[in-house]
């Protein structure tokens, strides 16, 4: 009888978190009070999230853009290949009604089924985790996390969420969106949400 060889341990890779700063380059996104542009605000917040994720959690972080460049949706979604653990896209809102305000969380991506047309259960879990963390840290979240029709969600193979960080057309929220302390609150909330998602979706030992 041949001696049995020990099984090789499985190589464990850290979770890959993809962060997407919406718009960029020739696509400014929303324009708010005083000419503030969505593409600039969300890039700054996304970079702050990336730094805090790397500092607080044992994860790899990939940014779909790191400067003021235009990246098509197809490339944003395809960039990590099939290896992304989750995908978060950050945006800011605008409305013709200047009283419109609040944060919003949408989710999608992953494997769709008849019972989960808005994306996989992991996508819904990610949305709930981010919604709860934002409400706890920042407040002002409008409603609950819900499925969204956005391209970065519906075309995404990974569990995905899109976070609207406020209305640039609301006087208070436009001012807050340019405040570094607010960016720090948002970044900490997103990291809290990612940490909660990773804990809740981890396979049992």
Token pair in block for residue 45: 């917040």
User: Average pLDDT of 96-124?
Assistant: 84
* Contact predicate 187/116, CB 8 Å: no
User: Average pLDDT of 186-201?
Assistant: 98
Token pair in block for residue 88: 């978060």
| Cα 13–Cα 19–Cα 23 angle in degrees, nearest 5 | 155
Report residue 5's pLDDT band, with 50, 70 and 90 as the boundaries. Answer: very low
70 closest CA partner among 39, 33, 106:
39
* Contact predicate 34/28, CB 8 Å: no
Nearest-angstrom CA–CA distance, 108 and 168:
24
What order of strands is seen across the sheet that includes strand 86-93? 60-63, 16-21, 86-93, 160-167, 104-108, 146-147
Domain boundaries, the chain: 16-201
Q: What is the DSSP letter of 141?
A: B
Nearest-angstrom CA–CA distance, 123 and 134:
17
Instruction: Select from 3.40.50.1820, 3.40.30.10, 2.30.330.10, 3.40.630.40 the CATH code of 16-201.
Output: 3.40.630.40
Model confidence pLDDT, tens digit, residues 146-165: 999 999 999 999 999 999 99
Model confidence pLDDT, tens digit, residues 69-106: 999 999 999 999 889 999 999 999 999 999 999 999 99
Model confidence pLDDT, tens digit, residues 14-70: 999 999 999 999 999 999 999 999 999 999 999 999 999 999 999 999 999 999 999
């Amino acid at each position: 009888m041949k001696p049995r060889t020990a099984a090789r341990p499985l190589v464990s890779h850290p979770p890959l978190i993809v962060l997407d700063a919406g718009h960029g380059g020739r696509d400014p996104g929303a324009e708010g009070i005083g000419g503030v542009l969505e593409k600039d605000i969300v890039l700054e917040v996304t970079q702050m999230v990336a730094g805090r994720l790397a500092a607080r959690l044992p994860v790899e972080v990939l940014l779909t853009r790191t400067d003021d460049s235009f990246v098509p949706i197809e490339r944003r979604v395809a960039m990590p290949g099939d290896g992304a653990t989750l995908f978060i896209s950050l945006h800011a809102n605008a409305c013709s009604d200047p009283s419109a305000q609040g944060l919003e969380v949408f989710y999608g991506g992953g494997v769709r089924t008849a019972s989960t047309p808005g994306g996989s259960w992991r996508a819904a879990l990610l949305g709930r985790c981010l919604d709860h963390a934002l409400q706890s840290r920042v407040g002002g979240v409008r409603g609950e996390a819900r499925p969204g029709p956005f391209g970065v969600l519906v075309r995404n193979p990974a569990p995905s969420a899109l976070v609207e960080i406020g209305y640039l057309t609301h006087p208070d929220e436009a001012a807050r969106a340019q405040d570094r302390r607010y960016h720090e609150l948002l970044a900490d909330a997103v990291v809290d949400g990612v940490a909660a998602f990773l804990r809740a979706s981890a396979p049992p030992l």
